Structure 1
Amino acid sequence: MKRLIQIGCVLILAACGGGGGSGRAPSNLDDACAILAQRPGYLRAFKAAERKWGVPVHVQMATIYQESKFVSDARTPLRFSLGVIPVGRQSSAFGYSQALDGTWEEYQEAQGGRRTRRDNIRHATDFMGWYMAETQRTLGISVRDARNQYLAYHDGRNGYRRGTYRAKPWLMRVSGQIEARALMYQQQLPRCR
């Protein structure tokens, strides 16, 4: 009987495991159509955020690619003390959008409500749309400008305003890669079924 209860508990936990492919990325991240064919719910989420916030699907996709590679429960790497003792994560970033705890809480208060989750594609894309639309409003960066939207997304709006990204050559390189990926996705999307 004890064994049956244990098996039952394991099955219940497995059934509650977060959905969306159990955190795994789609198989071909260089093909927008393949991503959307493998995860049809993504397109509905991207389109809803585009309608609500004006952020194009290809900009959302390129940003999520960079932040989480479309892994729903992505986290930053662990930090180690003495090289072997885990002492926590590099930041509180989590989920598709890699939103930090504080920024996610700000979004929840302004838009999403307490039930929103960073590992839910609909909530993550709505968060990104909200954040990028606010960036356009406060900094004047078009929601179509994947490069500069990402710089403000990564360093925060105040960091962008101060130009903190200029001292990070690696971030400048990454923002260029995001711009190129957004263009690639933009060219692929019209061919998707």
Structure 2
Amino acid sequence: MAPGRILRILGVAVLLVLAGCAHRPQPSDINDICVVFEENPEWYDHARRSEERWGTPIPIQMAFVHQESSFIADARPPRRRLLGFIPWRRPSSAYGYAQAQDPVWGEYREDAGHWDAHRTRMRDALDFIGWYNQRTRERVGVDLDDPRRLYLAYHEGHGGYRQGSYRQKPTLQRVVRNVEARARRYEEQLAGCEDDLQCWRWYQFWPFCR
């Protein structure tokens, strides 16, 4: 094979790999779950599979992602500033759609058997949220349809939740109320568009895609 053709083939291969690694853009309206899913219909499939596996309702999963990353795949906490202007370390290792930190992400990959999971991939982020909330139910007895208490345990960790560390954090209390309200709003919105989302692939048709 001619060297020029080999280079062209390698170039195409590199472009395909880069395209596969590219992050999805933020949905045009992150406050409307129907828009989020219409623009990213496979996200609905991922959320539904996570709900079936772990039990957290789809609206609660997506409300967590909204709060944690605003649907930005490679979101990270902003860096601290040394002397007020020098970029310094980040406050935590939180990363990706679910803002999972390194230690608990490692636990998830081992416990759930997802060694190839990536925090910048929605499928894995939603499965992680479902897995973590299931552990919250098992360890501290929070119902999976209670977004307020689930998010408190998600933010503070199970130990912090047991100790009530959130009681001294008024900003977190406001965040929790927002997560709860968004989950309820997403629930209402999803009721009006879920039938269409269940049959979006060309080979899916009622009643077999429900």
TM-score normalized with structure 2 length: 0.83
Tell me by how many angstroms 1:41 deviates: 1.3
Name whichever of 11-20 and 85-94 sits farther off.
11-20
Equivalent residue, structure 2, for 1:96: 97
Equivalent residue, structure 1, for 2:169: 168
Which amino acid in structure 2 is aligned with residue 187 of structure 1?
E
The answer for unaligned runs of 5 or more in structure 2 is: 197-210
Which amino acid in structure 1 is aligned with residue 164 of structure 2?
G
Q: In 2, distance between residues paired with 1:98 and 1:164? A: 20
Tell me by how many angstroms 1:190 deviates: 1.3
Max radius of gyration: which structure?
A: 2
| Aligned 1:100-115 pairs, distance under 5 A | 100-115=101-116
Q: In 1, distance between residues paired with 2:150 and 2:33? A: 20
Query: Does 1:63 find its partner at 2:81?
Result: no
Q: In 2, distance between residues paired with 1:44 and 1:59? A: 15
Equivalent residue, structure 2, for 1:73: 74
Which amino acid in structure 2 is aligned with residue 178 of structure 1?
V
Q: In 2, distance between residues paired with 1:113 and 1:186? A: 28
SS of corresponding position for 1:88: coil
Task: Indicate how the Cα distance of structure 1 residues 71 and 53 shifts in structure 2: closer, same or farther if over 3 A, else same.
Answer: same
Q: In 2, distance between residues paired with 1:180 and 1:128? A: 18
Query: Does 1:51 find its partner at 2:59?
Result: no
Equivalent residue, structure 2, for 1:85: 86
| Aligned 1:10-49 pairs, distance under 5 A | 12=15, 15-16=18-19, 18-21=21-24, 24-49=25-50
Which amino acid in structure 1 is aligned with residue 115 of structure 2?
R
1:42-66 CA-to-partner distances (Å, cap 9, x unmatched) read: 1011000000001000000111100
Task: Indicate how the Cα distance of structure 1 residues 43 and 20 shifts in structure 2: closer, same or farther if over 3 A, else same.
Answer: farther
1:93-145 CA-to-partner distances (Å, cap 9, x unmatched) read: 00010000001001111114321100111111111100001101111101110
Which amino acid in structure 1 is aligned with residue 27 of structure 2?
P
Asked if the contact 1:112–1:123 (Cα under 8 Å) also holds between the matched residues in 2, the reply is no
Q: In 1, distance between residues paired with 2:20 and 2:79? A: 22
Equivalent residue, structure 2, for 1:132: 133
SS of corresponding position for 2:89: strand
Tell me by how many angstroms 1:15 deviates: 2.1
Identity rate of aligned residues, in percent? 43
Task: Indicate how the Cα distance of structure 1 residues 170 and 13 shifts in structure 2: closer, same or farther if over 3 A, else same.
Answer: farther
Q: In 1, distance between residues paired with 2:53 and 2:82? A: 44
Asked if the contact 1:68–1:97 (Cα under 8 Å) also holds between the matched residues in 2, the reply is yes
Tell me by how many angstroms 1:84 deviates: 2.1
Equivalent residue, structure 2, for 1:177: 178
Which amino acid in structure 1 is aligned with residue 124 of structure 2?
H
Asked if the contact 1:29–1:69 (Cα under 8 Å) also holds between the matched residues in 2, the reply is yes
TM-score normalized with structure 1 length: 0.90
What RMSD in Å do the two structures reach over aligned CA positions? Answer: 2.0
